[in-house]
Amino acid sequence: MALLIRNGEIVTVGSRVQADIYVENETVTRIGKDIEAPPNAEIIDATGKLVFPGFVDPHVHIYLPFMATFAKDTHETGSIAALIGGTTTYIEMCCPNRNDDALEGYQLWKSKADGESACDYAFHMSVTKFVKETESQLRKIVADGTASFKLFLAYKNFFGVDDAEMYQTLELAKRLGVIVTAHCENAELVARLQQKLLADGRTGPEWHEPSRPESVEAEGTGHFATFLENTGATGYVVHLSCEKALHAALAAKSRGVKIHVESVLPHFLLDKTYAERPGIEGMKHVMSPPLRAKRNQAVLWDALALGSIDTVGTDHCPFDTEQKLLGKDSFVNIPNGIPGIENRVNLLYTHGVKRGRLDLDRFVDAASTRAAKLFGLFPRKGTIAVGSDADLVVYDTNYRGVVSAKSRHVNNDYNAFEGMETEGRASVVTVRGMVQVRDGKFVGERGRGKMLKREPNHF
């Protein structure tokens, strides 16, 4: 069926124009003034509203066996929450651990999403060891349309790789033209600092941050960058949290290293005092890299405004309170992760655009377009243009709300951003031309999401 979105202000990177958008067969086919629609077309009046390209979250965890438990979402719950928040595409970290077979893991992750997700999705393939079959397996995975890898420098003996494995992965990625994302914290230092703190009786969630200080993340970031420099591969630092790590990434970039930076919602809005709250309240705010000293937030916002931080993801990783309590006797056992898939767009719009930290252009770029470009989805995703998928977000800038776990759609029992005010909300969200969300409610088709096949684009 045809869809006409009338008279909205269409916002894409480099352009703002008042016009109609006409959609046929899942694709934008016309953009212009006073487009006539056939009688059977669905018409949405966007007068007084902004129309954004569907937002892209480049870093989520939906299915995740991790730290003796499983993240709480399914693709059904996670994708509906994403859509209500304006995210029409997410890229999930496919994370088999070192003891798993990579190809079996890849099939398992795909099977969890297939027919379940209401939004479109893709994967970053984690390389958690490099053994004799790894190259041929990764070649098959890339040929299947998964054109980005993930390395963990942290999580020793589980997801973490050593330097030899990192080198081999990057060297292969360079040959394949595949971008490599990386969690950059020095695993050895984290393990040593954890042991030292526990030996001193420091067991509460407030010790999580001191066990992985800014210098440990900066070392990891610089380390990854040096390996990129010497292999020629293109890298993407995920969830960069602090000024020291940013300096390491930007220093590498200034020497010509092909390195991109993502920061995630919690690090812009929450600081380490949240994790210092006693007991379970602190545990709810444990993630890695940890929430940092507040002074880092202004640095991240400025870097985001300038584009030195390329993208804003969530690192959505939901656990229930009960799961967080696995770490009640020792912070090293608190499942790491904070959810945010439902809140990213609205909180970024509120605290970025409305508070004057980000212009609208950079907002769209950071939350949609740049991730689409880096990860081989553009111009199918990340823009509104003739020929693009009709993933559209009609955005009501007058809406006022408050984040609350009571109204959540994610599958865990708390919201780390509880009580924060929001200014703006998606009033209509479409995925390939079908209305999936209206006024904060999922009204669409479950399981409509497709896996997005991507070509390598970093030669």
Q: Which is nearer to Zn ion, 220 or 424 (CB)?
A: 220
Q: Which is nearer to Zn ion, 183 or 380 (CB)?
A: 183
Out of 72, 124, 183, 260, the residue judged to bind ligand URP by CB under 6 A: 183
Q: Are 179 and 170 in contact (CB under 8 A)?
A: no
380 binds ligand URP, rule: CB under 6 A: no
Q: How far is the CB of 285 from ligand URP (least distance, A)?
A: 10
Q: Which is nearer to ligand URP, 220 or 449 (CB)?
A: 220
The alpha carbon dihedral of 84, 432, 428, 14 has a sign of positive
Q: Pairing between strand 69-70 and 50-53?
A: unpaired
Q: Which is nearer to Zn ion, 183 or 292 (CB)?
A: 183
One-character DSSP codes across 176-221: HT-EEEEE---HHHHHHHHHHHHHTT--SGGGHHHHS-HHHHHHHH
Q: How far is the CB of 64 from ligand URP (least distance, A)?
A: 7
Binding letters toward ligand URP, positions 387-426, x by CB under 6 A? ----------------------------------------
Q: Which is nearer to ligand URP, 296 or 336 (CB)?
A: 336
Q: What does 337 interact with, of ligand URP, Zn ion, none (CB < 5 to 8 A by kind)?
A: ligand URP
**What Rg, from alpha-carbon coordinates, does the chain have?**
21
287 binds ligand URP, rule: CB under 6 A: yes
Q: Which is nearer to ligand URP, 181 or 427 (CB)?
A: 181
Q: Where are the alpha helices (DSSP H) in 46-124?
A: 75-84, 102-113
The CA angle 104-150-215, to the nearest 5 degrees, is 140
d(CA 456, CA 93): 17
181 binds ligand URP, rule: CB under 6 A: no
Interface with ligand URP (CB under 6 A), residue total: 9
Q: Tokens for 160?
A: 């973490």
Q: Which residue is nearest to Zn ion (CB)?
A: 183
Query: Binders of ligand URP among 53-92, rule CB under 6 A?
Result: 61
Q: Which is nearer to Zn ion, 243 or 315 (CB)?
A: 315
Q: How far is the CB of 182 from Zn ion (least distance, A)?
A: 9
Q: Which is nearer to ligand URP, 22 or 319 (CB)?
A: 319
SS3 (DSSP) at 436: strand
Integer angstrom CA distances of residue 226 from 222, 252, 262, 288, 450: 6, 8, 18, 22, 36
Query: How many angstroms from the chain centroid is the CA of residue 10?
Result: 24
Q: What does 161 interact with, of Zn ion, ligand URP, none (CB < 5 to 8 A by kind)?
A: none
Q: How far is the CB of 287 from ligand URP (least distance, A)?
A: 3
Q: How far is the CB of 436 from ligand URP (least distance, A)?
A: 26
Q: How far is the CB of 59 from ligand URP (least distance, A)?
A: 7
Q: Find all residues with CB under 8 Å of 158, minimum gap 6, and list them.
A: 97, 98, 128
What residue ranges bind Zn ion (CB under 5 A)? 183, 315
d(CA 248, CA 395): 36
Binding letters toward ligand URP, positions 299-338, x by CB under 6 A? ----------------x-x------------------xx-
Unique residue bearing structure tokens 């090293």: 332
Q: Which is nearer to ligand URP, 169 or 336 (CB)?
A: 336
d(CA 241, CA 218): 10
d(CA 363, CA 346): 11
Q: Which residues bind to ligand URP, rule: CB under 6 A?
A: 61, 183, 239, 287-288, 315, 317, 336-337
